[in-house]
Structure 1
Amino acid sequence: MRVLIVDDHPIIVSGCAAMLAGEGDIDVVDARDAETGLAVFVAQKPDVTVVDIGLPGVSGFELTRRILAADPQARIVVFSMNDDPIFAARAIQMGAKGYVTKNDDPYLLLTAVREVASGGVFLMPKIANQLAFEKSGGGASPLSVLTARELEILRMLGRGLGTTEIADATQVSYKTIANSCSIIKRKLGARTPMELMRIALEHKLT
């Protein structure tokens, strides 16, 4: 089985690669950003792709979208520092088959990779329980009103990018991004870009 890891943290990549390669039947390749990750995906055709959300430039959400546009059958596991269940929900809605957080047992990533490679879906029990709780009407995240694309834009605003830079990175028009920013402000009750940046930082989107 071939696994592609797209993550910009060398220590995390090396640790995950060693764990997966130690299984004996897993060949690991890696990339450090979305653009390179997509190129490696197309060239290597991995069985499973592990994608970090917090990549430099566009996020793992956008990379997931681009990979699935290139191959709708791609099997993707999102691997993130963020344990807010809304990120797991949006990842699955976009077509990812698994979601694992980096601050839990690293062997859960191995479990997720094997489950997804076999055609299944993997959510950590804690996140699955939180999602079920939110669906029942309890304790929904303030970010639950945002789409995956809106989360992507909010993350980039949190990193200090302007509207033009976000439009260039996401390959959509300036007008579309400006309109999306207005919608995000309305949804989150924010009045200025600085307030959106604060919300992004508070929710560890950057």
Structure 2
Amino acid sequence: MNAAAIADTATRTVLLVDDHPIVRDGCRRLLAGSFRVLEAESAETALDLYTAGRPDVVILDLNLPGMGGLEAVRRLRDGDPGARILIFSMYDDPLFAARALQAGAKGYITKNDAPEALMTAIGTVLDGGVYLNHTMARELAVMSYAPRGNPLQTLTPRELEILTLLGRGLAMADIAQSLGISHKTVYNLCTQIKDKLGAKSTRDLIRISIEHHLPG
């Protein structure tokens, strides 16, 4: 973002959602000169803050306690289809970026990217664009045409969310409560996940989640 663009954003609000205080502190220092910054350490708090203040951009970690990041994206977009959400994650796997964009996010940036990349990503999302760095964009393009080598690519964002929560050790009843859906829906989706991944039991799904290092 150039100086003029930054000046234009000075009255805009960013909602920063991350459960690590040190990450929020670093981002706050980076953004404070250009934006009004709100903070939340959970998706549940973020939803309340968004409803109350309608910030211009949400910077959202995928790996959150309680409700996960993908579910938070869906709920934010359900409440406001125009919500501009930028995923800020430690995971550089293009699978997570693809699922985040499918859920409604407008960009994906990793915590290994340079600080100025975060400012560029915010500017892109504010301008109505979609942000991916060149490497991630290229990998997503290759992934879309390549044979499906990663079995998780066959999962929908909702199925990936449930698999992630299973890997965290949540029971089906807890997953249903966290996602705001019925126990029967969770059970049916777990059956679909098993069919797609060739798993025989919930224990197998937990193992797969852990082996693929899903956010947990």
TM range (shorter): over 0.9
1:83-162 alignment runs, 5 A limit = 83-138=92-147, 140-162=149-171
Corresponding residue number in structure 2 for 1:67: 76
Q: Secondary structure, in 3 states, of the residue corresponding to 1:77?
A: strand
Cα distance in structure 1, aligned partners of 2:23 and 2:107: 18
User: Per-residue displacement from partner, 1:149-183 (whole Å, max 9, x unpaired)?
Assistant: 01110110000001111011111111110011111
Q: In structure 2, what is the Cα distance between the partners aligned to 1:79 and 1:39?
A: 20
Provide the rounded CA distance (Å) in 2 between the counterparts of 1:13 and 1:139.
36
Q: Distance in 2 between matches of 1:110 and 1:163?
A: 39
Q: Superposition RMSD on alpha carbons, in Å?
A: 1.3
Contact 1:82 1:204 in 2 (8 A): no
Instruction: Spell out, residue by residue over 1:88-141, the C-alpha distance to the aligned partner (whole angstroms, 9 max, x if none).
Output: 111111211100111232332221111101111101211111111112225643
Distance 2:34 2:21 in 1: 22
1:173–1:114 CA distance, 2 compared to 1 (3 A): same
| 2:16 counterpart of 1:5 | yes
Rounded to whole Å, the distance in 1 between the matches of 2:130 and 2:46 is 22
Q: Structure 1: how far apart are the matches of 2:16 and 2:199?
A: 35
CA distance in 1, matches of 2:147, 2:139: 9
Amino acid in structure 1 at the alignment position of 2:84: R
The CA deviation at 1:81 is 1.5
1:81 to 71, 86, 90: 90
Report percent identity of matched pairs. 50
Contact map agreement 1:4 1:30 (CA 8 A) in 2: yes
Specify the alignment match of 1:188 in structure 2.
197
Please state how far the C-alpha of 1:201 moved relative to its aligned partner. Answer: 1.4
Q: Which runs of 5+ in 2 are unaligned?
A: 1-11
Distance in 2 separating the partners of 1:28 and 1:192 = 44
Distance 1:108 1:195 in 2: 38
SS of match in other structure, 1:5 = strand
Q: What code does the residue aligned with 2:19 have?
A: D
State the Cα distance separating 1:83 from its structure 2 match. 1.4
Q: TM-score, normalised by structure 2?
A: 0.90
Q: How does 1:2-81 map to 2 (within 5 A)?
A: 2-21=13-32, 24-81=33-90
Aligned length: 204
The 8 Å contact of residues 158 and 198 in structure 1, kept in 2 or not, is answered as yes
**Segments of 4+ in structure 1 off by > 3 A?**
none
Matched letter for residue 27 of structure 1: R
Cα deviation, 1:41-68, whole Å, max 9, x if unaligned, reads 1112111001111110111111111111
Scaled by the length of structure 1, the TM-score of the pair is 0.95
Q: Separation in 2 of the partners of 1:187 and 1:144? A: 10
